[in-house]
Structure 1
């Protein structure tokens, strides 16, 4: 039996050491657990109350440490870390596996015709736009016009890129052309994520000291955060969109076309169950950079108010 919870657990931070890849992987296996998508509103609200009450020094009688951490990870999977707002369900990282396995499986199956490429790239980039907006860093609001412009730019750029790569693939061997969907997704991530987070690039994201005290907003920190997220997203797609195609060729699904789509979806899902948390864990969620890497005016402000600070921290988003 677990003992009642201690009063000095810091649940603002993950349960495992985020300075190691293993600790980050354990953390993201919990956050991206697809079963969290099925949790009811009542369960999510109960977790939110448990977490917020504990932070305020109020504990439910009989609450154990394991129950507290469970509530924390349910809370983290559904509520934005900066705003505290409940996130749109398909934008949550716990929805990545079921959503991506369906979309990616269809992209790998239906890639031969231009209408199919356009449709599934549009679906994929629309989903990515929702995820990128939902998991953006910072707490500054974004207007409907800004969101609409970012969505239109991101999806158009991604679809045009996919069509360009498909046209190029017609001059390549068939086995190479099967990797066009992955190349298109990788290129589209480089377009979609910066577009959907362009407000951060313009105005910056909050940077703090090690205790979470806000020091200002930095576009340079936003650039570092977005690069890390792009790398992680491409990494997530790599095993699903690359290895699945090779495996399908090995088991000769072309002889049994009726099995193509369900097998593709299943294999993609299996890859994503592991690739999603492991690639999220490539970089710490609470990222850091040297004060000297910030903008000159922000450097000056920090040196005046907190001369002992040499490193700042920020939420990189997902």
Structure 2
């Protein structure tokens, strides 16, 4: 994977003009040419998606300014406007340096520009900002001897951040007005904070042995945050669950066409997103506490104090950075589904030749 270098595009991202006498794809490969109509990584495999999302969620993409992001978007649009209409069989060949330039711009676009709207996502709410923003919230949650008011405040901050991230990265084929956003925000934060605070307060009162309480106390953050996160996503994306998300088919040239909205696909999209967030929480909320306890038992880290909190934050940050890409890569961002598994109106889809269409697409969101 190529490390990010924020591109500086001159003249509004103008494309250089080259002319090559290339007669075949194999000859192009021998000449050092690259076909950029295909994804850099194989997104049909977990390994390819892992490489893709490691690139997309890199915090280094946050260094690009809004003007650089727009220039990257314009450059990508400029290249893709020149792609052949037959996206399945056609190729667009460029030199290796030009391919690297396109891929760097594509990385910025994928990390910071919403695929449905084409608009730049507000910086703190991009998935590439997930690690630094969550570390700030975790630092607040790890403050010593928190009061109930402090616990409620930081849980509210955490859930408010989750709301903003979920809304900013949701499928935009089903828009929400500000009243709907406000209602969903109130429901998401209230219920999620109640779950998180309620569970953290309930465990110490359970009639269990100290050892059992200690184990449960270790798991409470994971269970409460995961449960609250599922509620949060469901509230913020309830219109996708109720009204559905856009369903697309590809023509013989590989171009996408929207054919309707499917609530079943919407429910599937929200469920996959929620599962990805839970998978992110499993290592992040379980491994760092266990690692910290091990270090403290070995007397390598004090049991309390600033150093203990610093080590805890470092472990959590490392866990977030390492495990976020594989969690998101578990499911493809553009998901395929057999139309027979959707509403009856999609069951008899046919292509131009009269053959049954066996696969349609929808945007899962992040």
TM-score by length of 2: 0.79
**2:64 — aligned with what?**
39
Displacement, 1:138?
3.2
**1:263 — aligned with what?**
311
2:273 corresponds to 1:235: no
Distance 1:192 1:307, change over 3 A: farther
**2:233 — aligned with what?**
193
Q: Paired residue for 2:98, among 64, 67, 80?
A: 64
Report the Cα distance in structure 1 between the residues aligned to 2:101 and 2:345, rounded to whole angstroms.
45
Displacement, 1:254?
5.3
2:291 corresponds to 1:244: no
Give per-residue Cα distances to partners, 1:293-315, cap 9 Å, x unaligned.
Answer: 11123435x35987521111111
Number of equivalenced pairs: 312
What runs of 5+ residues in structure 2 fail to find an aligned partner?
1-28, 84-91
Report the Cα distance in structure 2 between the residues aligned to 1:149 and 1:110, rounded to whole angstroms.
33
Report the Cα distance in structure 2 between the residues aligned to 1:107 and 1:254, rounded to whole angstroms.
19
Displacement, 1:112?
5.5
Give per-residue Cα distances to partners, 1:206-249, cap 9 Å, x unaligned.
Answer: 11124322121111001111111111101112212111111122
- Would you say the 8 A contact 1:125–1:155 is kept in 2? yes
* Moved segments of 4+, more than 6 Å: 2-5
Say which SS state the counterpart of residue 82 (structure 2) adopts.
Answer: coil
Report the Cα distance in structure 2 between the residues aligned to 1:56 and 1:304, rounded to whole angstroms.
25
2:85 corresponds to 1:85: no
Greater fraction of residues in helix: 1
Report the Cα distance in structure 2 between the residues aligned to 1:82 and 1:50, rounded to whole angstroms.
18
Report the Cα distance in structure 2 between the residues aligned to 1:214 and 1:10, rounded to whole angstroms.
21
Report the Cα distance in structure 2 between the residues aligned to 1:16 and 1:111, rounded to whole angstroms.
47
Displacement, 1:167?
2.6
> Which structure carries more relative contact order (alpha carbon 8 Å, separation 6+)?
1
- Would you say the 8 A contact 1:204–1:220 is kept in 2? yes
Greater Rg, structure 1 or structure 2? 2
2:177 corresponds to 1:143: yes
Say which SS state the counterpart of residue 103 (structure 2) adopts.
Answer: helix
**2:192 — aligned with what?**
158
- Would you say the 8 A contact 2:174–2:243 is kept in 1? no
Give per-residue Cα distances to partners, 1:55-92, cap 9 Å, x unaligned.
Answer: 11299x98611111111011111100111111111111
- Would you say the 8 A contact 1:32–1:77 is kept in 2? yes
- Would you say the 8 A contact 1:165–1:180 is kept in 2? yes
**1:209 — aligned with what?**
249
Distance 1:208 1:111, change over 3 A: farther
2:37 corresponds to 1:10: yes
Distance 1:164 1:65, change over 3 A: same
Q: Paired residue for 2:128, among 94, 107, 123?
A: 94
Say which SS state the counterpart of residue 110 (structure 2) adopts.
Answer: helix
**Higher mean Cα deviation, 121-130 or 101-110?**
101-110
What runs of 5+ residues in structure 1 fail to find an aligned partner?
none
**1:51 — aligned with what?**
76
Distance 1:307 1:198, change over 3 A: farther
Aligned alpha-carbon RMSD (Å): 2.4
Say which SS state the counterpart of residue 179 (structure 1) adopts.
Answer: helix
- Would you say the 8 A contact 1:108–1:245 is kept in 2? no
